[in-house]
Structure 1
Amino acid sequence: GFAQVLTDPDATLQAGWTYTLTVEVGNSLDYPWHGYKVQLLAGGTPHTPGSGGDYTGPVTGGTLLAEDNNSLTIAVDTFETSTVTYTYNPEHASLLGEPLQIRLLTLGNVLAGDEYTEADFDNVKLDAAEPAPIARNPDPEDGATDVCRKVVLSWTPGMYADKHDVYFGTDFNDVNDANNLDPIGPGEIYRAHQDADSYPVPETLDFGQTYYWRIDEVNAPPDEDTIFKGDTWQFTVEPIAYPIAGDKITPSASGSYAADQGPENTINGSGLDANDMHSTVHTTDMWLSRDEEPGQAWIEYEFDKVYKLHEMWVWNHNSTSEEDLGFGFKDVTIEYSENGTDYTTLGGTTHEFAQAPSKAGYEHNTEVPFGVPAKYVRLTANSNWGTYGKYGLSEVRFYYIPVLARDESPKSGTTIDGVDVVLSWRPGREAAEHYVYFSTSFEDVNTGTIDPDIIDAGGECETSYGPLSLDLGKTYYWKG
């Protein structure tokens, strides 16, 4: 391979800078191809100069910053561009001011019989970009969704920042146009003038609301009048409830008018457009019962597990003749169960489902609140909107409250680099405490036959357990 420690006084590692190394890598026909490495390092001892411009000593030392380890597929007798990017990391603070080093390596193992190996390198270029004066790397990231209601805003400060002006609100223009002459405080758009590069939003945010925020970077005295206005970022808070996906639901019914008008049509999204509007084009996008007496036609939904149901949306039967035939459910008994045996009538009474309009572009027009745990929901039609003995629905959607732990870390199947591990997860919304099961036995964790550790729910956004001292090479199982 080839290595060179750069001797230009400006070619040193600097705080906050970003370095981009590009190299054309070729696959020669002359020798077998075993791959390549392109590396950027800091530090090292340069070549030892010899007589006549030659070098008598190799480059030694250096700390690897970033590399491309044979990531490209390079056809014979062609070149591809390898790009290695490194942005200063504070863990390399001891290397600040050290010269940068480039290494270009041909992979191969002479001891394993690779007597000859070759990769060609050309057009080596190293670019260095001075850090931006504005705030960057927002967290939550710009455009993030499903953000926790108790959020901490954080960012990477601009290079020259001494203070940070924080702007936050629900209107893009209000946040984008605000400045440091506006009123300041927790209830204002201009929230804070502070030292920290994070800001815990004091209020609990609204479900489903989109928020906007901006960080302006303020120089240190005597240049504190220099302010670098930041970009306006946005994120959306988690919804109050989440839809249960159709592949998590098994529908059944008292019967179907035709094989292609079965109950599965009510949970598979057929007939809905991108805006959740239902069509009238195909009755095969809907469910229609066979001829039944009032109170005999039913459809049931079995979920993959028990959910805390929030509400149900209904698109009633919506054929082009619905206005005349009235097949849609009208007076409906809604029953729910956790075990499929013991059923309870929702609200102790019946519910009326609104009739569909017999028109395309049909938005759901019935919403039924639940607020109960259930694995099964059965809808029984006591009447329809017409005089014929058939009953039908177009689409039914269930929403649930996330009361179980989610967004776990480390993810299932993860290989951990290290033995000290902290488990973390997003708590169920109504959790007061957590039972944490942890073992090398899948069966013990899965069945809960071991004693759990009980911990308080902690924060609304994240709860953690650990650190845990683990044994190398072992597989562990956990749930919380």
Structure 2
Amino acid sequence: MCRRLIYLVSFVVPMLSLMSTAQAGEATVDAFVRGPANDNTNYGTGGSVTLKNSGGNSYDRKGYIRFDVADVVSEASLVLTVSTNNEGGGGTTPQTFTIEVYGLAESLDHTWTESDITWNNAPGNDTSSSNFTADATLLGSFIVEPIPVGNVVSFSDPNLVDFINSDTDNQITLLLRRTAGTSSSHNVAFASKENTNYSAPALNLEVATRAFGPDPADGALLEATWASLSWRALDSAVSHDVYLGDNLDDVNDGVGDSFQGNETDTTLLVGFPGFPIPGGLIPGTTYYWRIDEVNDADPNSPWKGSIWRFSISPETAYNPDPADGAEFVDPNQVFTWSPGYGAKLHTVYMGTSFDEVNDAAGGTPVGSASYSPGTLESEEVYYWRIDEFDAINTYKGDIWSFTTPGAVGNSQPANGTVDVSMVETLSWTPADTAASSDLYFGADAAAVYNATTASPEYIGNKALGSESYDPGKLALDSTYHWRVDAVYPDKIVKGLVWSFATAEFIGVDDFEAYNDFDPPDPESNRIFDKWIDGFGTTDNGALVGNDLPPYAEQTIVHGGVQSMIYRYDNANKTSEATMTLVYPRDWTEEGVTKLSLWFRGASGNSAERMFVALSNAVVYHDDPAATEITRWTEWVIDLSAFAGVDLTNVNSITLGFGTKGSPAVGGTGTMYFDDLRLIR
């Protein structure tokens, strides 16, 4: 079901989309080839790059896209808009496609033109099959789900970055093929640069301004006490200042013993005598490193690098499966973990009492990092510990916990959640056969764990059907802990301690709560039912959300999994979308003084003023062409700029384009918004 049937029938609005980027370039040439029955036919001027895999018969189609690329890049993504995803002329197919992306050999980049390319003369094409020849290098693949036309898909891979950076003639050609699927008759097509409804293929790039491509990768875990560091350098760099240490601030500031020297190579061995950290990297330690690019002949040198990190595996066991705090674990689970560094023997302790497992001195020795305790009791809380022995020392492990099916669970907010609202209601599901639940809540984890019904953390007993609790207004930027015990007629099963952290801001809208349920479903919460736009009007050119599910944007997001897509049309109109506020309405609480929101535009947008309005108070973005900014950008507005507004009782917020109250001849475009917040 959709909300705008008239809109869908009467015209199509381009769905222009780009990834967060510092630079975006559209294809300079694109086409597809078809064979063998159509092997001399040119399809270069059509509106699509169409792909099909039918086992090498006349229906096969392969795509060719060329881009101009002149810079060294640290990130790259190919962005395509689906223009056909069907069988013949039908609707959305139930089939999922896998699309492979190849890089064409540089020597062949210039050998094809859009107006002449065919199945027979296409460089790199294997004319006898659905494959490419050895002149094409596989860079990776991406998935196209059975989605409606107009949706955006993207491909990014380190191989794509390497392919771009290895180019020397400032042009690259990417080849596309569909792998064999469940039906050879289905095709998928992407809008070409000639398409008048959707955006052309785009290559979004982060131009390298510092060293990039660290190896080990940022955040890597190494199972050795040495490492070979390497990185990708800027073309302008002559040498490289290396900083490495276990103190983040020292590496960031380049102080202490973090400076390891200036290198002309882009590799460095560490952890051996004669090299940095000659005594070896220490198990359980996180190391930070940074590469500053140096060229004394350039006044901008050195170019300070990002800080990367890697860790050495600890001597204790880690990475338990099930994870610490896991709920409803199979009673017949086989337990595994990652062995501590150098471990030769593992001793397992398991039970239903934290203290007993923590204090236990005798356990079950095992030679491998797995353990099967037999069938466990349902509706129970278990604790377990692994001690590691490396033939010299024993390393006592952490205490991990889990529950089995039927136990108290499904905490809301979920354990470990961050950026929780100050006005959050806690909820859970009770144990299957328990008579009631005892609830504990507080700011100290140890106090909550040790609390009894006589402790201040004890909230009270909750009868079946009453598994919720409103703690009242919580403090910003604070961590809270809670525990729910299952109360039975003859015993109490102590629950896990759950934690969550409140945000350091007050959320106005993060767009995560909107769903795709249509009325009259009582759970319906569609984005365009809360943000009221210009649908059905003649003087408001705003259209919020997608007309078919997913209604909220789920591909181009700043935080979480959803954002708001907003199309504007200022042809003798202004564009406005307004949300009536339920909470927060007091924009002074907790000392907040600013409104923060994130936005980005799509390639090809018309330049328009962007504004935020509270009642009749309007604030315009400083950039009159903010709609042309194609990367996620934060806009921070001092609340004092909304002159005359009672900030203790804000009724609504409007996001708009143009000059409010003064329609004029303007353009069209697509914008994205996310993470509207009040900050201090």
Give your verdict on TM over 0.5. no
Q: TM-score range by the shorter chain?
A: 0.3 to 0.5
TM-score by length of 2: 0.32
* TM-score normalised by L of structure 1: 0.43
- Which structure has the larger Rg? 1
